[in-house]
Structures are given as structure tokens and as C-alpha cells.
């Protein structure tokens, strides 16, 4: 049975099964959380701890106290409560949602810049073999630079840019960092996909006197879709991670990353509160993955047909 023989009804059923299994996975994770909280040691499991010495030993299992692991229903209830005790304060869930939307816009822009830069580098390396030998090692080495060290440098360099009335904003530094993480999988995946056509197909295009650009759009780009879609998915995840980390590193306010840092100080007095922005960051990643899934569905007609045994 070929992929083309799959009916729209079967596709819809597959999507519903995916949704159901996703919900089951979330419920199973919550059940596992509560089970460990029920049977796990209150102070965790320490190995090599010395009596009377605080902080000694290695903690192999986390603590199960309400301070360290609040109940799942307490975390859900905290979402609908006001973020602070101030009069007229918004519910915590609304604050998290607004912060997540801000981070989502920045991550989307960073992802878009990373995709454009990554694909441009892939085309450069495809067209010139010497460029592949010169650029590809630096593309790989670029990902070894610690992000926590790179963020302050980008913010410092950006603040020195002056173009008339233009002024560098902190969110721009976040976009640059997000695109820095996003471009790598796109560059590598797109290059591999563009180089994937068989020699016989390339010879056929040459026999038709097809030029480089015609071969690119008619053969190489459709052939690159199976390689490009996973790269875009990984780039989206990297853009979200880069956005959250960069918001903390550069001091950008209003995003989910900064909200995680701000609510962390309330962990001792309000242990359920810091988990809300963490779950918001997870939701942000799911939205990014869903967007790439829609994009993959749009590109599915260009996928090679494969026979399922």
C-alpha cells in the first residue's frame, strides 16, 4: 500500500489518534508525578551524606515535600488565582498566556530569520564546493559556543549600533540568539536534502539542457522536503529554547523566560506558582511543533512516495 492510497478519512483518524494519545500521555505523566509523590522519600534519596553536614552527598531522587513537588491539582488551581494579592491583579494563567504570546512572536521571528540564513548557506555550499569545505566546519563549530556567554555579547554589540533614529531593543537581541540556534539544523538538513537526488536524475535534467536554477526548483528542492521538515521542526524547538534562555540572559521583560525567573523567587512561599510559567514554556514548544506539523502537511505533496511493507 502506497502513501498516495491513504484516504482522507484515514488521515483524519490518524490525527485524532495522535490527539488522544497526547492527552493520555499528559494524564499518565500527572499520574506518575502523584505516584512518586505518594511513595517517594520526603527528603529524597541521598548517597554518601555525612551526618550533621548540610549539602553533603549526592541526591539521586528529588524530594517529595509539598515545597519541592506540589500536587498537580494545586498547580492547576494556582493558574486561575490572581498572580499577586494586589487589588485588580490578573489571574496567573492570563499573565502566563500573555508572556507566552510575546515569546511566541519573538521565537517565530527568530525561527524565520534562522530558516532564511540556514537555507541561504545551504544554497551557497551547494553551488560552490569550496564554500562547503570552508563554511560547513564553522557552521558546526558555531554551535559549541555557550549560549549563556554569547547573549551578553550580542546585547552589547547591538546597543552600539546607530542608524539615524534606529535604536537597538532588547527583544532584537533575543531574536538574534533564537535565530543563531535555529539556522544550524536548517543549513545542515537543507544541504543534505539538496544533495540527495540520484546521479541518474541529475543526468536526466542535464540531458534536457536544464540550468542550475531549473534543476534546483524542479528536482533538488522537492527532493529536499523529507530532510527539510525534520530540520524545520528541530529549528522551531531550538528557537523556543533560545528565546526562553535569551530573555533571562539579556534581561528582556514581558516574555515567558523572564516570568520563570520572576516567579522562581516565590517558590518558598508559593510553591505552585513557579510551575505555571514552566508549563507555559512547554505549551509554547507544543505550539511551535504544531505550526511545523501544519507546514509539513502543506509540503507533503512534494514528499517522495514510499512503499510500506
For residues 57 and 109, state if they share a domain: no
Query: Of the candidates 46, 69, 92, which is a domain's last residue?
Result: 69
> pLDDT tens digits, residue range 26-70?
889 889 988 888 888 777 777 765 665 555 567 677 778 878 888
**Residue 119 pLDDT exceeds 90:** yes
**3 to 228, 292, 294: CA distances (angstroms):** 19, 20, 18
For residues 36 and 178, state if they share a domain: no
Contact 135, 230 (CB under 8 A): no
Residue 296 dihedral angles phi and psi, to the nearest 5°: -65, -35
> pLDDT tens digits, residue range 198-207?
888 888 888 8
Q: How far apart are CA 255 and CA 261, in angstroms?
A: 10
Grid coordinates representing 161 are 549600533
DSSP 218: I
**308 to 2, 4, 5, 26, 213: CA distances (angstroms):** 6, 11, 11, 30, 33
DSSP 220: I
Contact 37, 29 (CB under 8 A): no
**Mean pLDDT throughout 103-117?**
94
**Mean pLDDT throughout 81-86?**
78
For residues 122 and 267, state if they share a domain: yes
For residues 148 and 237, state if they share a domain: yes
Domain range enclosing 54: 1-69
For the chain, what is the domain count?
A: 2
Amino acid at each position: 500500500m502506497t502513501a498516495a492510497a491513504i484516504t482522507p478519512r484515514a488521515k483524519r483518524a490518524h490525527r485524532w489518534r495522535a490527539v488522544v494519545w497526547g492527552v493520555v500521555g499528559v494524564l499518565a505523566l500527572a499520574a506518575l508525578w502523584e505516584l512518586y509523590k505518594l511513595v517517594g522519600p520526603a527528603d529524597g534519596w541521598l548517597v554518601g551524606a555525612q551526618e550533621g553536614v548540610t549539602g553533603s552527598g549526592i541526591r539521586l531522587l528529588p524530594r517529595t515535600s509539598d515545597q519541592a513537588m506540589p500536587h498537580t491539582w494545586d498547580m492547576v488551581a494556582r493558574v486561575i488565582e490572581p498572580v499577586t494579592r494586589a487589588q485588580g491583579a490578573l489571574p496567573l494563567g492570563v499573565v502566563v498566556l500573555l508572556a507566552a504570546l510575546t515569546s511566541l512572536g519573538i521565537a517565530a521571528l527568530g525561527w524565520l530569520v534562522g530558516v532564511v540564513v540556514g537555507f541561504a548557506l545551504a544554497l551557497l555550499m551547494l553551488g560552490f564546493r569550496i564554500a562547503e569545505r570552508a563554511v560547513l566546519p564553522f557552521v558546526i563549530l558555531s554551535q559549541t559556543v555557550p549560549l549563556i556567554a554569547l547573549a551578553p555579547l550580542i546585547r552589547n554589540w547591538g546597543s552600539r549600533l546607530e542608524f539615524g533614529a534606529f535604536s537597538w531593543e532588547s527583544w532584537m537581541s533575543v531574536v538574534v540568539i533564537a535565530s543563531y540556534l535555529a539556522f544550524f539544523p536548517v543549513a545542515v538538513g537543507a544541504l543534505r536534502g539538496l544533495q540527495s537526488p540520484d546521479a541518474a536524475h541529475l543526468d536526466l535534467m542535464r540531458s534536457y539542457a536544464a540550468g542550475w536554477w531549473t534543476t534546483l526548483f524542479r528536482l533538488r528542492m522537492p527532493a529536499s522536503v523529507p530532510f527539510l521538515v525534520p530540520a524545520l521542526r528541530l529549528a522551531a524547538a531550538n528557537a523556543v529554547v533560545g528565546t526562553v534562555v535569551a530573555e533571562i540572559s539579556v534581561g528582556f521583560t514581558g516574555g515567558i523566560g523572564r516570568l520563570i525567573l520572576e516567579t522562581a523567587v516565590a517558590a518558598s512561599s508559593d510553591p505552585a506558582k513557579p510551575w505555571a510559567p514552566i508549563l507555559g514554556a512547554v505549551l509554547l514548544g507544543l505550539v511551535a511543533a504544531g505550526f511545523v506539523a501544519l507546514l509539513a502537511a502543506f509540503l507533503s505533496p512534494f514528499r517522495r512516495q514510499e512503499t510500506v511493507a
